[in-house]
């Protein structure tokens, strides 16, 4: 049996597939320390809230209604109206229900968007997705129908006090050309926790407008919800921006509900793709979100429960890391948001791919950094010096994992000097 070119491409082993397989294996392996996956925290207060909300929806018949009926291909109409009203009231954006579409998770949304704006065109030309700053999300790298769909620019690296650093967009070397079909950034960034500044975002928006291409912002961790962002960052939207959001990081990854906010032409295209590929987005997550908005709980819980939980957890994790790994062994990207820490083992004698393998043998799962640099056209040693670490697990597990990590880092240095 042979597959088509499409089949060959999407059956290759990819970084995101490996990550999800490791996550699945680790969850079923007794004693495994899961510091690699992207699962959000099981926050007790949020779990209690969801339990109560679902019980109410079951008793009222709303849960059964959501499960027993299709929504339209654009998504649940009630949620589109409620969300548009909330964004108008909270942020002053001129948004109507026809500016919003739902998808079966953000991963589906980005598959749609990348292949809408990049790839081969009717005139025979090819357009690409530009990442103005890498590292970027591991799930982007294999989401194009065409090969070599992505181009990226290396960041400027600002060294900060206390063994931290921060990536910035290198506008001097950023090239938007006739081959650029869209600009894409995540804010906050998975894997680094970086938040590109307001000025950087405004410059990217101006560049996109100047070249007649969309600026796509992955806002899965950002404001106004779930609000896992620890720096001052003003949310931005206009008709040339495509803003993507999600229910996952509220604590509902199983709901598989992505949200796209864009101009009407793009929303119509997304709705058509939904209808062809999946008939309609799932309805249970949107039904829950409707209730959260109507009860004024969505933004309240984001600000008073979710954000404080992650902020406390990231501070605890940095303190644990520094007990075992001093600044000369490991630099940490400034934690400005999302649910990960990005560790830079500058000048480590082994690659972080080998470090990953050694950690895995000892029951610690992290993600090597080289998967997070899609689109770079030249080798860069930095890509093999970094690792992504999820800081969601309990502090005791994090400490056990970091202790093993430190032992393996020292082992690598010891091998060099032996």
**Per-residue confidence of the chain (418 residues) as pLDDT tens digits?**
899 988 888 887 766 676 667 766 766 677 889 998 788 999 999 999 999 999 999 999 999 999 999 999 999 999 999 999 999 999 999 999 999 999 999 999 999 999 999 999 999 999 999 999 999 998 888 888 888 899 999 999 999 999 999 999 999 999 999 999 999 999 999 999 999 999 999 999 999 999 999 999 999 999 999 999 999 999 999 999 999 999 999 999 999 999 999 999 999 999 999 999 999 999 999 999 999 999 999 999 999 999 999 999 999 999 999 999 999 999 999 999 999 999 999 999 999 999 999 999 999 999 999 989 999 988 999 999 999 999 999 999 999 999 999 999 999 999 877 6
Name the β-bridge partners of 127.
119
Phi-psi region of 341 (alpha: psi -120 to 50; beta: other; left: phi over 0): beta
Q: What is the pLDDT of residue 330?
A: 98
Q: What is the pLDDT of residue 19?
A: 66
Cα separation, 16 vs 327, in Å, equals 30
Helix axes 395-417, 352-361, angle to 10 degrees: 120
Q: What is the pLDDT of residue 142?
A: 82
Question: C-alpha angle with apex 133: 129 to 136, nearest 5 degrees?
Answer: 75
Phi-psi region of 194 (alpha: psi -120 to 50; beta: other; left: phi over 0): beta
Cα separation, 377 vs 370, in Å, equals 13
How buried is 317 (Cβ within 10 angstroms: 0-12 exposed, 13-18 middle, 19+ buried)? buried
Q: Tokens for 348, please give them.
A: 């480590």
Q: What is the pLDDT of residue 27?
A: 60
Ordered by where they begin, the domains of the chain are 5-46+300-413 (3.90.1150.10), 70-295 (3.40.640.10)
Whose tokens are 């720096």? That residue is 231
Phi, psi of 127 (to 5 degrees): -110, 155
Phi, psi of 178 (to 5 degrees): -65, -15
How many CA atoms are closer than 13 Å to the CA of 279, on its beta-carbon side?
5
Whole-prediction pTM: 0.95
Question: In sequence order, what E strands does 105-152 have?
Answer: 119-120, 126-131, 150-152
Closest-CA residue to 214 (of 98, 305, 138, 110): 110
Query: Could you tell me if 252 and 50 are in contact, meaning their C-beta atoms sit under 8 angstroms apart?
Result: yes
Q: What is the pLDDT of residue 220?
A: 96
Beta-carbon contacts of 157 under 8 Å, excluding residues fewer than 6 positions away, are: 165, 166, 167, 168
Q: What is the pLDDT of residue 30?
A: 79
Name the β-bridge partners of 331.
344
How buried is 69 (Cβ within 10 angstroms: 0-12 exposed, 13-18 middle, 19+ buried)? exposed
Query: Could you tell me if 187 and 217 are in contact, meaning their C-beta atoms sit under 8 angstroms apart?
Result: yes
Q: Tokens for 310, please give them.
A: 């992650």
pLDDT tens-digit map of 152-162: 999 999 999 99
* Cis preceding linkage at 39, omega within 30: no
Q: What is the pLDDT of residue 9?
A: 84
Q: What is the pLDDT of residue 28?
A: 67
């Amino acid at each position: 049996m042979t597959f088509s070119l499409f089949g060959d491409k999407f059956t290759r082993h990819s970084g995101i597939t490996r990550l999800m397989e490791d996550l699945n294996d680790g969850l079923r392996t007794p004693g495994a320390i899961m510091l690699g996956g992207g699962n959000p925290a099981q926050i007790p207060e949020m779990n209690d809230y969801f339990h109560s909300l679902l019980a109410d929806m079951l008793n009222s018949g709303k849960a059964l209604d959501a499960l027993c009926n299709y929504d339209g291909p654009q998504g649940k109409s009630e949620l589109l109206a409620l969300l548009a009203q909330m964004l108008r009231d909270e942020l002053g954006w001129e948004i109507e229900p026809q500016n919003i579409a739902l998808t079966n998770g953000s991963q589906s949304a980005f598959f749609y968007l990348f292949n809408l704006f990049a790839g081969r065109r009717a005139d025979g030309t090819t357009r690409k997705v530009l990442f103005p700053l890498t590292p970027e999300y591991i799930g982007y790298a294999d989401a194009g129908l065409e090969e070599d769909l992505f181009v990226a620019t290396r960041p400027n690296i600002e060294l900060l006090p206390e063994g931290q650093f921060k990536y910035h967009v290198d506008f001097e070397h950023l090239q938007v050309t006739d081959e650029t079909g869209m600009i894409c950034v995540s804010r906050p960034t998975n894997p680094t926790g970086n938040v590109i500044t307001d000025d950087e975002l405004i410059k990217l928006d101006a560049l996109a407008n100047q070249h007649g291409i969309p600026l796509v912002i992955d806002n899965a961790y950002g404001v106004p919800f779930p609000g896992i962002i620890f720096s001052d960052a003003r949310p931005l939207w206009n008709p040339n921006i495509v803003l993507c959001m999600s229910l996952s990081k509220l604590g509902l990854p199983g709901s598989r509900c992505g949200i796209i906010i864009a101009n009407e032409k793009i929303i119509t295209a997304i709705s058509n793709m939904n209808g062809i590929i999946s008939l309609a987005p799932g309805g249970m997550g949107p039904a829950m979100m409707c209730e959260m908005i109507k009860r004024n709980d969505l933004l309240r819980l984001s600000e008073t429960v979710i954000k404080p939980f992650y902020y406390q957890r990231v501070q605890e994790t940095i303190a644990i890391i520094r007990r075992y790994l001093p600044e000369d062994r490991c630099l940490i990207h400034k934690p400005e948001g999302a649910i990960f820490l990005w560790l830079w083992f500058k000048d480590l004698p082994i690659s972080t791919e080998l470090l990953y393998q050694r950690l895995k043998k000892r029951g610690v799962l992290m993600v090597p950094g080289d998967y997070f640099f899609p689109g770079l056209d030249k080798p860069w040693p930095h890509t093999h010096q970094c690792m992504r670490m999820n800081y969601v697990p309990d502090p005791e597990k994090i400490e056990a994992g970091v202790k093993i990590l430190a032992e393996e880092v020292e082992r690598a240095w010891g091998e060099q000097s032996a």
